[in-house]
């Protein structure tokens, strides 16, 4: 039996990234995150994978290597926290003179890159939000890439829409792939498209993954609990067309309010969903019901299998789902990296120092 490729997941969250790699056949040796609720979710769903719950800035390379049992490390994967420079809300600066003054989470991306320098995996995968592209006019990402290049990695980044890989969600994320075995960097080709001329299957619609939950009663053990909306909001929701938003200029005076956001957009069942952003109040309106999505419905859109249960209250569960990498995409990414490793082995360049 061929030995499995080894991987560790830094900033593992609810497990969307390593779940896909596991499904692709990798032996995930360790997960690291700094969140008690994430730890509960991890232990419930992935008790077979050791986890370090602590600030990654305090985790040493020697600690990590203990979990490898003397085996070489094929891949390091991870998605450092993204809220520090999300396109939603204020973005912190990484200017050297006021570095991380607003949000120390920005530092964690560089912590990830520096850990890579010491661990020396053959391949690396990092996921982050689109906002990293323009943080400090691109200087921040340039610094991350420079760190990886100085560590001996061919590394490139690409903005990828998860819908192009069968995920029923418009979700644009920056994916960094790198290797230190000498291969040119490439990315998995899309296998779905919204353009008929591409001769690919069309984008997956969100209605197909939600339809069987329409008549399901609340089930807290399944993360399927509908928010109790006010009567006024329910009346607003009734005015929102599929694929549209609340017609603010046509509201009767009793329904008007300021600052209508993502919670007043209804999904089109025949299209991919809007991006599932963290927080229970940010999930959009169900395609046919006059309420926002439940955590389970958002998890379905994120392609989590139903056996994955998220711990915490509804808001905390929503954050875990919204921050995750869709496992369907992760699985395809894992398959792609595996083929790259096979190519390197065929070329005799995989066993490097």
Alpha helices in the chain (DSSP H): 16-23, 36-45, 61-66, 105-119, 139-150, 207-210, 231-237, 295-301, 314-323, 327-346
Q: Which residues are annotated as catalytic? A: 82
- Give dist(CA 192, CA 139) in Å, integer: 32
Q: How many CB atoms lie within 10 A of CB 203?
A: 23
Q: Are 303 and 328 in contact (CB under 8 A)?
A: yes
Length of the chain: 353
State how far the Cα of 271 lies from the Cα of 349, in Å rounded to an integer: 44
Question: Rounded to 5 degrees, what are φ and ψ at 289?
Answer: -100, 150
Whose CA is closest to 317, among 222, 245, 181? 222
In degrees, rounded to 5, the angle at the alpha carbon of residue 223 between the alpha carbons of residues 163 and 236 is 70
């Amino acid at each position: 039996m061929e030995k499995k490729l080894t991987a560790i997941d830094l900033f593992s969250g609810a497990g969307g990234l390593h779940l896909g790699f596991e499904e692709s056949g990798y032996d995930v040796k360790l997960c690291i995150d700094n969140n008690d609720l994430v730890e509960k979710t991890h232990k419930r769903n992935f008790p077979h994978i050791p986890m370090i719950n602590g600030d990654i800035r305090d985790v040493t390379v020697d600690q990590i290597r203990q979990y490898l049992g003397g085996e070489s490390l094929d891949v390091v994967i991870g998605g450092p926290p993204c809220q520090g420079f999300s396109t939603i809300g204020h973005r912190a600066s990484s200017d050297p003179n006021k570095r991380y003054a607003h949000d120390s989470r920005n530092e964690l991306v560089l912590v990830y890159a520096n850990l890579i320098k010491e661990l020396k995996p053959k391949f690396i995968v990092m996921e982050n939000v689109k906002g990293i592209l323009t943080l400090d006019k691109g200087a921040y990402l340039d610094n991350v890439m420079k760190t990886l290049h100085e560590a001996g990695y061919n590394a490139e980044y690409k903005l990828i829409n998860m819908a192009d890989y069968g995920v029923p969600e418009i979700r644009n994320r920056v994916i960094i792939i790198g290797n230190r075995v000498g291969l040119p960097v490439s990315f998995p080709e899309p296998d779905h498209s919204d353009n008929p001329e591409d001769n690919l299957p069309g984008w997956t619609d969100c209605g197909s993954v939600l339809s069987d939950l329409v008549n399901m009663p609340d089930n807290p053990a399944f993360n399927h609990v509908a928010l109790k909306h006010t009567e006024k909001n329910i009346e607003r929701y009734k005015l929102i067309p599929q694929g549209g938003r609340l017609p603010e200029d046509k509201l009767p005076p009793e329904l008007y309010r300021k600052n209508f956001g993502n919670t007043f957009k209804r999904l089109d069942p025949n299209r991919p969903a809007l991006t599932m952003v963290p927080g229970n109040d940010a999930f959009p309106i169900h395609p046919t019901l006059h309420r926002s999505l439940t955590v389970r419905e958002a998890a379905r859109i994120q392609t989590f299998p139903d056996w994955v249960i998220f711990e915490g209250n509804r808001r905390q569960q929503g954050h875990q789902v919204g921050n995750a990498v869709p496992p369907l995409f992760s699985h395809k990414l894992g398959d792609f990296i595996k083929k790259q490793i096979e190519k390197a082995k065929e070329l005799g360049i995989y066993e490097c120092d």
